[in-house]
Structure 1
Amino acid sequence: MPGYAMPGYMPPPGYMPPPPPMMPDFGVAKPQSGKAVGSLICAGVGLVGGVLCGVLGIAVLVGIVLGALAIAETGPNGSRTGRGLAITGTVINVVLLLGAVAAGFAWYHYVSQQSRQNLEVDAAQLREDFELIRSRLKTYYERNNQSLAPGGPRLAEHGKPGISNGAPGEALGVVQGALKINDLVWDGELNEYAGNFELTVTGSASCTVRFTAYDGRSHSMKVYDIGKNHYSIIQE
């Protein structure tokens, strides 16, 4: 019949049959980026570690590096998926890093301010101690025939201030040998420990009182003439 090939019909020489239909190309699924997941994990570790232990905060820096690498490999032409995780992990780690830097500056400012305030308080208390010692030196000087030499009345004893109503207590005896701090004041009267003060008499009306703190700081009160109240306080 017309339009239909006869059974056993062979195409003419040189004619190739059409190829079979192609299968649709669905492509190969890209694997998940391990660096993106690692960046997000580092963000969590850094968040907890920043609170519990500052050393663990290094995870934040690792997370930023992993996040940057993950963003590169999950781009349009990249070989991995998980770009959203990579961006999220990187952003969180950067925010944590900036927060840690801000917290560090705030802590440094607080510690510096507290240290400055403590130094101011210590300086004020030391001035009070120097003033008390200078007052006792003048009392001793006046009661010892205007001299800081030995033989004057002791003005203090441990637990027993020798000053009562402005008058020295002769019952405490007289100074034997060179005048010392504990002949003038005792610990209960001072803000600082009396043992940190050293008195060196340099003349009948002059002396040096040196205070050395536990951290090595040293201040001196140089008395040029106790009778005339000529003195100065310097930091050494």
Structure 2
Amino acid sequence: MHLYIAYKNYSSWSLRPWIAMKMASIEFEETVLPFYHSNALDKLAERYQIPAQVPVLVEDNTIIWDSLAIMETLAEQYPDRNLWPQESGLRVLARCAAAEMHSGFMTLRSTCPMNCRKQKRLTDEKLALIEGDLIRLAELWEHFDRANKPEGDFLCGKFGIVDAMYAPVMWRIVGYGLDVSPAFSKWATAMQALPAMQEWLAAAQDEEWTIEAYEAYGEDV
């Protein structure tokens, strides 16, 4: 099983299946494709006739080129890892929240690109743009707080796909010094403390690549 990803400092979509697989103890090899600095991603896309996007999971003759599709497939292959909650109502909530992240929060994404290495701050004008997305995050966390779920620090108690889907949001909120809610802050602290997340951060800090277009967002703290 081989996972193709991009820059660990910047690639939010790469982080999602990567940390899900790490947390589920699913063994895989990985290759970083620095698409701003080489044509390796274009070659991979041409080889498999897929969009030139990451992540891509290759297992034997199966090619999966979407983060959520990768994690859904892994949940089917490894049912004992409980990547989705076992209780049906909680599983529905987790799936809805994961799908909302997959297609939503566009203003937050475009205003605050993931940058694990930097602490940034936004102007009041930029903060006003993302206010609706921050409010929506707080509402989602209220849904999970009210849910009947097992004990644990994550959205469904135990770490799962929904946490992986929001992992890059954690870096956006923390990295740009944003405030969502006490429940979100508690979850973000638990996410940062994960050994897998610390492994990702260390690799991001060691990367030699810089993308100036991403670095231009926000003011350095």
Q: Does TM, normalized by the shorter one, top 0.5?
A: no
Q: Which has the higher helix share?
A: 2
Which of the pair has more CA radius of gyration?
1
**Higher RCO (CA < 8 A, seq sep 6+):** 2
- Give the TM interval when normalised to the shorter protein: under 0.3
TM-score between the two structures when normalised by the length of structure 1? 0.19
Name the structure where strand makes up a greater proportion of residues. Answer: 1
